[in-house]
Amino acid sequence: MADSRTIEAVGDALAKAKHVAVLTGAGVSAESGVPTFRDAQTGLWAKYDPMQLATPEAFQRDAQTAWDWYRWRRGLVTAVAPNAGHDAIAALAGSVPRFSLVTQNVDGLHQRAGSVDVIEFHGNLFEDKCAGCEVRLPAAPGEQGDPPPRCDLCGEVMTPGVVLFGEEIPASVLEQSQLAATGCDVFLVVGTSSWVYPAAGLADAARGFGATIVEVNTEQTPLSETADYVLRGPSGDIMPALLGVVQRLAKVTA
Ligand code: OAD
């Protein structure tokens, strides 16, 4: 677990920052019971082949199998609750002058914890999108085994509103994320393996514009070597600890 001196130093940097940006990944939701992608035992990509389930071709080839899997994930996420890490990130937003949250997660748990204006880098599990006419809608009701939803406008099979492998990040999402990364003083990278680009490149962009880079993760990642601070431990412990320092320092200066 990260030592208290490093927590204090990062909390101090956060308290002094004019703009804090946070990038989160699946690790933030792990303590809620949502599996990550790359954990060697429990990760989704250890059990399922993304090429068979999470590509446009998978939906063209066998939409039923792909939809059954995404509907299983919808059920799983609906049944869990945000954890202390999500809560602390939502509260941190109200404790600094300007705050941006970019998440690679599609589970909506940040919003359920009270975060607003969340930039959803990889989309949202609870939307449907049409590959044909690109319309996006709230998810149509449906369970595993139900036929895949079709677009009312053009008749194409819909996909969930997430970025599938091989699809591009929408330009507006990329732009908002880059603005957050390049405009912040502190860039916190929480619970992501930092393997997947372009999301992983946001830390480089933030560093290039002079931000202090902080990693919060239970494990070593490619970012660990270059981050200014590495806070090793679960986000459900570390994020509340950081929030505590920020709130204490705010009281001292008030
Ligand atoms: P990964 O599964 O690649 O990484 C999860 C990270 O969270 C790992 O580095 C873990 O060490 C860390 N972790 C696990 N539990 C944690 C905890 N309690 N507190 C802090 N850290 C913890 O997930 P992502 O980095 O989010 O994309 O994956 C990025 C993208 O790859 C996903 O958005 C998804 C996937 O393919 C798409 O589906 C497009």
What pLDDT does 115 receive? 98
What's residue 134's pLDDT? 83
Is the shortest distance between the CB of 120 and ligand 1 below 6 Å? no
Please give the Cα distance from 165 to 50 (Å, whole number).
8
Average confidence (pLDDT) over 88-106: 98
Q: Whose CA is nearest to atom 6 of ligand 1?
A: 192
124 Cβ inside 6 Å of ligand 1: no
- Helix then strand count (H, E) for the chain reads 10, 9
Q: Flag whether pLDDT at 29 surpasses 80.
A: yes
Cβ–ligand 1 distance for 30 under 6 Å, the answer yes
Helix (H, G, I), strand (E, B) or coil at 120: strand
Side-chain-facing half-sphere of 163: CA atoms under 13 Å:
19
What phi, psi does 217 have (nearest 5°)?
-160, 150
Distance, CA 38 to ligand 1 centroid (Å)? Answer: 7
Residue 122 is predicted with a pLDDT of 98
- pLDDT higher at 132 or 166: 166
Beta carbons of 102 and 21 less than 8 angstroms apart = yes
pLDDT at 1: 78
pLDDT at residue 150, as a whole number: 94
Compute, in angstroms, the gap from residue 56 CA to the centroid of ligand 1.
Answer: 22
Pocket test for ligand 1, best of 1, 37, 232 (most atoms within 8 A of CB): 37
Question: What local confidence, expressed as pLDDT, does residue 247 receive?
Answer: 96
Q: What does the CA dihedral 142, 68, 56, 204 come to, rounded to 10 degrees?
A: 100
Determine whether 254 is exposed, middle or buried from the number of CB atoms within 10 Å of its CB (0-12, 13-18, 19+). exposed
What is the model's pLDDT at position 254? 66
- Ligand 1 in reach of 104 Cβ (< 6 A): yes
Tell me the C-alpha distance between 212 and 19, whole Å: 11
Q: Is 235 touching ligand 1 by the criterion CB < 6 Å?
A: yes
Buried b (16+ CB within 10 A) or exposed e, 167-179: bebeeebbebbbe
Q: Is the CB of 224 under 6 A from ligand 1?
A: no
Q: Are strands 119-120 and 98-103 parallel, antiparallel or unpaired?
A: parallel
pLDDT of the residue at 253 = 73
Order of all β-strands in the sheet with 119-120: 119-120, 98-103, 19-24, 186-190, 212-217, 229-232
What distance in Å separates the CA atoms of residue 166 and residue 55, rounded to the nearest whole number? 7
Position 121 scores a pLDDT of 98
Give nearest CA residue, ligand 1 atom 35.
37
Q: Whose CA is nearest to atom 9 of ligand 1?
A: 193
- Tens-place pLDDT, residues 225-253: 999 999 999 999 999 999 999 999 988 77
Sequence letter at residue 97: P
pLDDT band at residue 66, thresholds of 50, 70 and 90? very high
List of residues 6+ apart from 242 with CB closer than 8 A: 7, 10, 11, 14, 88, 92, 231
pLDDT band, very low/low/confident/very high, at 130 (cuts 50, 70, 90): very high
Q: Is 122 a catalytic residue?
A: yes
Please give the span between the terminal C-alpha atoms of the chain, in angstroms, as a whole number. 31
Measured CA to CA, the distance from residue 3 to residue 180 in angstroms comes to 28
